Chain A
């Protein structure tokens, strides 16, 4: 049901662009104003969210340690999983952000006859997530050729690498294929695995459908219903150089694509997609694990904390302590006065 809502929502968005840029001829709005606004919302929103997190304090040093601590010199420390230096923390974060280290550990639980539980390695989510994020990144980088003149060598390089197999004309990008497969897997997983379906919300399906729709419109434009690529580049260059103009006859499919991308950008800071920024700020991963070695300072103060002092304690129990020859600070007579 939630998946259907999301699907419907994405169709509705596509319809808006279809009608708006097509029938109503609002090319300028869908080609320039909305994308510009979306980028602004994305940038400002992203910053607001990150600054918002940054304003919250990190009162305690609470990293999850996933390996042997720094200890006696002859005990081998796990310097990345339990880092005690900044370099180690950087490595830990790099493994996490670039390779999804924690997800790599994933296991799956199974129940068996009798009273037996087993845990099997389960790397599909890791693989799916990795494929999704890296192909997405490649596609975004590839698109930079629309916004640059001349196209930098790096982007051209990525592009030719991506089209390595030289299938068809225009040549098939491998990432397009991987991307669609990965997103489809992530979606199917949500629908098929009962527990994952149970925890999924509309806002889990919506970005998947939105991204998938963006991919399909893009692929369709490139391989089947070809749009005027020269005009698209003109429009894109116009956007980034602020010399806004809308070339004629780009084709409505492009505007749908562009509108969906705009929605994604604007939706980004409002949603869970902000994990992109949040992962860097997660205190359980980005802190040094040597909290007995170096003191961590809490920026806020505890108010009205009363301590139970030793004096109060001895006053209550002095007699009983003296009785057992336990040392006391004040002798019995003095304390009893």
Chain B
């Protein structure tokens, strides 16, 4: 944080005027604060990914294998055939520029290579220069270039400055999704062992222990147990969650970020309280799993294959425990994977025959929209409970909260989860104000740390990327007095507090179920004096 300039200074440095020279002639300089450290070879090795080696992005020599160009070309050729999205997006961009000012990293940095069109063009130019007849003959005249070591470094630098939030895709007349391009770009870099450590190590951890922090089962149990202590202190009710419980009706999987860091931990306490309430009132049987203790899938930022390997644990565990369906916690890319990849990747191999189309056992609602994956989002689940009047809620306990809603980009643009969390939020808080149009729903802004970019060393990049989101929050804070930013993503809960502290220090960040748990009235609970954060509850007369 020490090297980070003050917000006003950082803001003043934003300049949208591109350099005079052609972009192919502007060399890429890797700037500290805007890149993440290289992947630890041990982590790369652990999951058997190719070319694990020690290297430093600031060094001239990246320790590439002799035939690195051949590896990239073969990888590229293979992927052009395997992904129509990629091939089409390489071919049909007309460079209209509609996406240019839609990326949060461009808005916050002014770096023209952060314009989605140009970020994709970094790869497209090589595709044209090395793969198309036109480009091979005419070269630069056709917008083509050769794959050199400096081009490869440029790829690495800018593909890891894309949080794959898909906002640009919303505005593209052909739906070109730069995330698809950088996903493939990162896959290619992974063939050379060039990932970042904030992705590679979580991947290895997830693979070994089930969660990205490498929490072993006993420690996972202890952490949740610790939350139960806190809940007991605050409410007088002690939740007794099940772990690895065979015969439970529902398996609950949430991102492990919720178990580890504030304010995600309060959201985690929220889940625990909700399940305890439903168990006591309606006999709901839910189990947690230490084996499948991560919903977030860092494999998504490595390769499709790694994503499949990490994702498989959810279905394997559901099968082993014999649950009817899976409930998923508040997480961003976890839900993109669940919604768009999971069933295709692992459905037929691992989905247990005992699993059924999810039915809310309390309300009888059939989640037809999850008939095939057998996986329901907790916002859908809770919204259904509230609609049926199954929860005793006291909004007044959140009277000190003036909430605005951050649509986490993956659920918003990868599944369309927009109104369910709003319904839940409005049921548990008294004051709710939307941020301006153009910054919410499908046009929502990334927190700045998605797709594995939430490392400490790229602070400047994250603050730049966080500007558009923070700016909209600042607007509603100053105009309406909003003091809380709600979201359904664990990365948001990790990144946004820093970003708010930097740009809008008066606003805090919370998950949805923290607010639910604050408002939830247990039969026989003691009179609460504080909320889950240990802060005084607003007086009833206020």
Give residues in A with beta carbon < 8 Å to B: 5, 49, 52-72, 74-76, 78, 81-82, 84, 96, 100, 102-103, 105-109, 111, 114-117, 119, 125, 129, 193-204, 270-272, 274-275, 278-279, 281-285, 289-298, 300, 302, 305-310, 313-314, 316-317, 320-321, 323-324, 326-327
Contact = CB atoms under 8 A, between A and B. Distances in A.
Contacts of A71: 369, 380, 417, 419-420
20 contacts: A53-B91, A56-B80, A59-B83, A62-B85, A64-B169, A64-B414, A66-B413, A96-B173, A107-B438, A109-B107, A115-B11, A115-B503, A194-B18, A195-B112, A272-B92, A278-B88, A291-B373, A293-B370, A321-B218, A326-B244
B222 interface: yes
Contact of A69 (B8, B102, B417): B417
Contact of A195 (B16, B94, B503): B16
A282 B320 contact: no
A150 B421 CA distance: 62
Contact of B438 (A102, A119, A200): A119
A104 to B, nearest CB: 9
Nearest to A115: B11
Nearest to A311: B320
Contact of B97 (A84, A196, A281): A196
Interface in B94-112: 94-98, 100-102, 107, 112
A298 to B, nearest CB: 5
Interface stretch (B150-158, B251-259, B306-314): B306-314
B217 A320 contact: yes
Contacts of B8: 114-115
Interface in B431-464: 436, 438-439, 441-443
Interface of A is mostly: loop
Given A302-B305, A323-B218, 11 more contacts: A64-B175, A64-B442, A65-B412, A111-B11, A114-B11, A281-B84, A294-B372, A295-B343, A310-B316, A310-B317, A321-B290
Nearest to B79: A56
Contact of B84 (A106, A196, A283): A283
Nearest to B84: A56
Interface string B286-330: 000011000000000000110011001100110010000000000
Contacts of A69: 369, 415-418
B244 A327 contact: yes
Contacts of A203: 142-143
Interface string B141-180: 1110000000000000000000000100111111111001
A62 B217 contact: no
B98 A53 contact: no
B427 to A, nearest CB: 13
Contacts of B279: none
A117 B291 contact: no
A270 B368 CA distance: 45
B142 A324 contact: no
A198 B95 CA distance: 10
A115 B7 CA distance: 8
B338 interface: yes
B68 interface: no
B396 to A, nearest CB: 25
Contacts of B63: none
A13 to B, nearest CB: 15
A61 B320 contact: no
Contacts of A199: 23, 95, 97, 100, 112, 115, 117-118, 121
A246 B246 CA distance: 85
B347 interface: yes
A96 B210 CA distance: 42
B413 A53 contact: no
Contact of A275 (B87, B94, B217, B245): B94
Contact of A307 (B11, B89, B312, B412): B312
Given A292-B343, A326-B218, A67 B48 contact: no
Nearest to B80: A56
B43 interface: no
Contacts of A52: 87
B87 A53 contact: yes
Contacts of B474: 115-116
B135 to A, nearest CB: 10
A324 B218 contact: yes
Given A57-B81, A278-B92, A109 B101 contact: yes
B58 interface: no
Nearest to B173: A103
A64 B471 contact: no
A320 B217 CA distance: 7
B523 to A, nearest CB: 26
A65 B372 CA distance: 19
Contact of A194 (B17, B309, B344): B17
B341 interface: yes
Contacts of A74: 387
B64 to A, nearest CB: 24
Nearest to A202: B141
7 cross-chain pairs, A with B, having the tightest CB-CB distances, nearest first: A69-B416, A278-B92, A284-B175, A65-B416, A198-B18, A285-B175, A201-B143
Interface string B394-436: 0000000000000000001111111110010000000000001
A334 to B, nearest CB: 17
Interface centre among A54, A198, A279 (most CB of B within 10 A): A198
B191 interface: no
B414 A65 contact: yes
Contacts of A68: 416, 418-419
A10 to B, nearest CB: 15
Nearest to B167: A64
A53 B84 contact: yes
Given A53-B88, A102-B171, A321-B217, A289 B416 contact: yes
Interface centre among A294, A298, A310 (most CB of B within 10 A): A310
